[in-house]
Amino acid sequence: MRHVLGILGVLAAGVLLAVSAAMNWRFGYSLGTTEFDGLIYGAASAAADCLKALIPFFLFAAVRNRMWSQAAAAAVVGVVVTAYSLTSALGHAALNRLDTTGQRAQQTAVYQDMRSDVKRMEEQVGWIPQHRPAATVSSEMNGLKNQIYWSRTQGCTVVNGKFNRDFCQQYHTLSAEHANAVQAADLSKKIMEVKAQLAKAGDNHTALTEADPQAAMLAKIGNLVFTDLKVDDVQMALTIFIALLLEVGSGFGMYIAFSQWRLHDALHNPKVASAAAVGRAAVAMPLDVQVQAPVATPVAAQAIAAPVIEVAAPAAIAAAPVVQAIAAAPPAPAVITPPAATANDNTDRALTVQRMVAPESDVERFHKEKVETEEGATITAVELYDNYCQWCEEQDKEPLALPTFSRDFGELKSIKKAKIAGRVRYIGIAVRGATDLAEDTKPQVPITRAA
């Protein structure tokens, strides 16, 4: 389950990082006056955004190793790249929201204008007097033009006499009715055209009533608490929120996701590695073997430390069943206790199992073999580290880094240190001479397993 959560977290953080880097790329590219300048700014913006995701790893690793100068540098770089990435994200989000809301505002204005035009033309149609269809009125006017009065009055331009006036009055009445019919037909045609354009919006006509429906709805909800809240304020808050979402998610997402595996502790913590080695050795070691530790004489106990048991890897134990015991004094013969042939064989087998003790770390062995308590003595941290490196070379071991060695050595009991004249010194300890700790070169005694 832990691995599943870690994989999902890495995928989600990777998506946020990719989106944030793309936004920074586009914004940086828009700053260039030429194509090449745009590529330069875009690449720098994307690289800064990717570095922002790596800063937490560098910062906390430097703090863990007590490298304060590197931690300060990582913090400064992190603040700078995060600020730049945040401004880029704000710029991109603002431009995108303004473009979107601007298009919607334009569409909304056009939609409202068309609806106003339809309402105005419908009102104009209601103002036109009652009339017959234009074709009917036009046919009657043509009939009047065929009468003799039309020629006598020269097209109703010269009116003399009562019959001529009646004829022209009838013609002008039909002409007015025809004009009303034509105007009503034109308005009806325009109304149909505008309604057809409105129908193209389809189901989106409700959303087009607001340029930014999300901001408008949040503003209405916010007015329940803040009476002066405006849509513009909500739009600005949404832009900032989107930018913060991308920056925080892409900046710390990877660090949080990788915390599920604790990779740093598993690879670099000596205690965890030693515990894992002991567990593997305990699994591979037979349960029916009891090893009796050698007994050192009082004289040897004063000159040397306790014997050290080195356990090989599981593959080596399975291939060659030999346990090597290295001691300064000649060890006593190992006693192999075979399991008793009794009825309750499982109980006897469980009683013969010896508890495995975690081996000492290299720092603890160095302290036990090389460091002695001496009142009034002092030694600098660098000198002590040089002796530790020399001891590791003699033991054919890889030395730890100076910060890690200083941290592990300082965690030992009865270790006192102080800063004198700008240098860290350990108080009350000294390093033994090479002659005081001549390692015994006697051959090792192999311990065979029980048949």
Predicted confidence (pLDDT) per residue in 18-74, tens digit: 888 888 888 788 888 888 988 998 888 888 888 888 888 888 888 988 899 989 998
Q: Are residues 46 and 95 located together in one domain of the fold?
A: yes
Q: In this structure, what token pair is assigned to residue 313?
A: 């890897």
Tell me the one-letter amino acid at 89. Answer: A
Instruction: Note the pLDDT tens digit of each residue in 319-351.
Output: 333 333 333 344 444 444 444 444 445 544 444
Q: Which domain holds residue 390?
A: 362-431
Residue 444 belongs to some domain of the structure: no
Q: Are residues 369 and 347 located together in one domain of the fold?
A: no
The confidence score (pLDDT) of residue 6 equals 73
pLDDT band for position 95 (cuts 50, 70, 90): confident
Q: Which of 268, 298, 326 is the last residue of a domain?
A: 268
Residue 281 belongs to some domain of the structure: no
Q: Are residues 187 and 234 located together in one domain of the fold?
A: yes
Residue 92 belongs to some domain of the structure: yes
Q: Are residues 350 and 399 located together in one domain of the fold?
A: no
In this predicted structure, the answer to whether residue 207 has a pLDDT above a threshold of 80 is no
Cα dist from 172 to 103, 147, 155, 176, whole Å: 51, 15, 11, 6
Q: Are residues 16 and 158 located together in one domain of the fold?
A: yes
In this predicted structure, the answer to whether residue 299 has a pLDDT above a threshold of 60 is no
Residue 274 belongs to some domain of the structure: no
Lowest-confidence segment of 10-24, 138-152, 268-282 by average pLDDT: 268-282
Percentage, residues of the chain above pLDDT 90: 11
Q: Which of 323, 357, 391 is the last residue of a domain?
A: 357
Q: Are residues 321 and 415 located together in one domain of the fold?
A: no
Residue 282 belongs to some domain of the structure: no
Q: Are residues 18 and 105 located together in one domain of the fold?
A: yes
Residue 278 belongs to some domain of the structure: no
Q: Are residues 393 and 425 located together in one domain of the fold?
A: yes
Q: How many domains does the chain have?
A: 3
Residue 129 belongs to some domain of the structure: yes
Q: Are residues 150 and 215 located together in one domain of the fold?
A: yes
Q: In this structure, what token pair is assigned to residue 93?
A: 């989000």
* 8 A C-beta contact, residue 351 and residue 339: no
Q: Are residues 209 and 307 located together in one domain of the fold?
A: no
Residue 260 belongs to some domain of the structure: yes
**CATH number, domain with residue 373:** 1.10.10.10
User: Which are the contacts of 342, defined by CB distance < 8 A and separation ≥ 6?
Assistant: 348
* 8 A C-beta contact, residue 16 and residue 246: yes
Q: Are residues 112 and 47 located together in one domain of the fold?
A: yes
> What pTM value is reported for the model?
0.38
Q: Are residues 423 and 349 located together in one domain of the fold?
A: no
CA-based nearest residue to 49, from 311, 324, 253, 313:
253
